[in-house]
Chain A
Amino acid sequence: MDVIRLERGQTRTVHDADSVQADWIGSGVAFVVYEARRKRGFVAHVLQTDWEHRGSPTAPPPALEDLKGWLDETGASPSEVRAVVAGGAQPLNAGEDPRLRPGEGLSRAVTTGLRSLGIDHICEDTGGSMGRSLKLNCRNGVVDVVQGQGSSTTHFRLGG
């Protein structure tokens, strides 16, 4: 099965035989929304730059507008889908300086945005000082989030 590569700033819908991977997630955030019953989902890799430049810092990242369109188009029920949010890393000495914590606000904006769409089943792997990659196997709803070039892997099962 070929793995579809999701580039920085991209969104993508996926179907039952697909496997999709977002690499090199730094302070940016990748998220998966998966509907187990129909084995389909929506994946996005959101960058800080795609978000802040929309105006208000409290605005939802634009990928959430695409997600809303996908939910409307497919009729997927927000109460049935499950989500994983990963990313938002920061340097070791992030401290309290907001210049060193861009991922924190972005992670919060993504999870808040998902909840505002009615998606409440959200798993998170965010923060810390390791970049991540995220991979969804759409056939079984397994999401692997790999940190630090394979230093550790977290598995999420969204398939029921």
Chain B
Amino acid sequence: MALPANSPRRVPTTLKQLIEQTPAIPSMSTAVLEVLRLAGDPDSSASHLADAISVDAALAARVLRLANSAYYGLPREVATVQDAVTLLGRATVRSVAMLAASYPWFDAEDEATAECNLWEHAVGVAAGAEVIVRRIDRRLADEAFCAGLLHNIGMSVIVRWAADKVPTLIQFSVQKKLSFHETEKLVFGYNHMEVGSALGADWNLPPRLLDCIAMHHEPSKLARTSLLVDAVHVADYLCKALGIGLGAENFTIQVDTSSMDRLGLTNPNDLTRVQADLMSRFRSASELLELT
């Protein structure tokens, strides 16, 4: 399939070139990477985590703003990062930091990413993965939120080059009954999962989060299936069904029902209940993030 002739520039032909030549890929701040590391380290203290956040003033300010929002429903004002860690807990602070740090990748003010509705989708899948995982293992709910936020970072790079080609790619996918990521692979030589994985590996993201980026469309291809990957996969589908983030790949996805089975979502009513919780969580997150 030929790329549209009106393209202002050709999409780089290798994954390496894509990442090197994309001018506006935000880097993952070292503060956020340290927060991710410390939140998973049982030997670290709350003050270590607070110190790691406070190193980045913009991150600290955003963490405080989010911590004081209705979404987290804390009984009193959070005045310091240390307070936020104490009141919210380390796992939730990891989610808050991730949320604060993710925005630049899906910046709604960037025309291409706004058109593709990527930020809304990231928040929707984060909310959905959290809701799904909370039913099974509450301890992993915050990590699931982070995984949902990050799953499509590769798409944020691709659309910076190819937003104008998205309608053609969608139409091609439907005609050929290919998933959008299969069409990406055919047309560009790589797909958004591979792009995201390369970025995530470069940032030294934890392996479980990398799996969610790399396998969110093919959860059963993992050597050992993962609760987080299954949750992100199903949350992705539920968001598409609700119209949350149809912008980039639209509804050209193949859903792996084995993931639903592994999550205990064996009939339509189970899914609808989860979807209702997802929608409720997403709406409160949207108010918080001024998405609506």
Contacts and interface: CB of A to CB of B under 8 A. Distances in A.
Given A24-B117, A27-B242, A92-B254, A148 B171 contact: yes
B15 interface: no
Nearest to A9: B279
Interface in A16-49: 23-28, 47-49
A130 B268 contact: no
Contacts of A49: 242, 272, 275-276, 279
B246 A48 contact: no
A96 B35 CA distance: 45
B264 interface: no
B222 interface: no
Interface string B28-40: 0000000000000
B105 interface: no
A26 B254 contact: no
Interface string B148-178: 0000000000000000001110110110011
A90 interface: yes
B251 A91 contact: yes
A102 B241 contact: yes
Contacts of A99: 257, 260, 265, 267-268, 271
A128 interface: yes
Interface bracket on A: 20 to 34
- Is chain A's binding surface mostly helix, strand, loop or mixed? loop
Interface of B is mostly: helix
A144 interface: no
Given A24-B243, A28-B243, A148 B272 contact: no
A114 to B, nearest CB: 21
A130 B260 contact: no
Interface in B239-291: 240-244, 246-247, 250-255, 257, 260, 265, 267-269, 271-272, 275-276, 279
Interface in A138-160: 148-152
B292 interface: yes
Contact of A26 (B167, B251, B272): B251
A145 B276 CA distance: 26
Q: How many of chain B's residues touch chain A, expressed as a range?
A: 35 or more
A148 B250 contact: yes
Nearest to A93: B254
A76 interface: no
B272 A48 contact: yes
A8 interface: yes
A53 B274 CA distance: 11
A130 B168 CA distance: 12
B251 A89 contact: yes
Contacts of B272: 48-49, 52-53, 102
Interface string B10-49: 0000000000000000000000000000000000000000
A26 B246 contact: yes
A100 interface: yes
Nearest to B276: A49
What 5 pairs between A and B have smallest CB-CB spacing?
A24-B243, A131-B246, A26-B243, A27-B241, A151-B171
Given A98-B268, A148-B171, 4 more contacts: A28-B243, A99-B268, A130-B170, A148-B174
Interface of A: 7-8, 23-28, 47-49, 52-53, 89-93, 97-100, 102-103, 128-131, 148-152
24 contacts: A24-B243, A26-B240, A26-B241, A26-B242, A26-B246, A28-B241, A28-B243, A47-B279, A49-B272, A53-B276, A91-B251, A91-B254, A92-B253, A93-B254, A128-B174, A129-B173, A129-B251, A130-B174, A148-B167, A148-B171, A148-B174, A148-B250, A151-B170, A151-B171
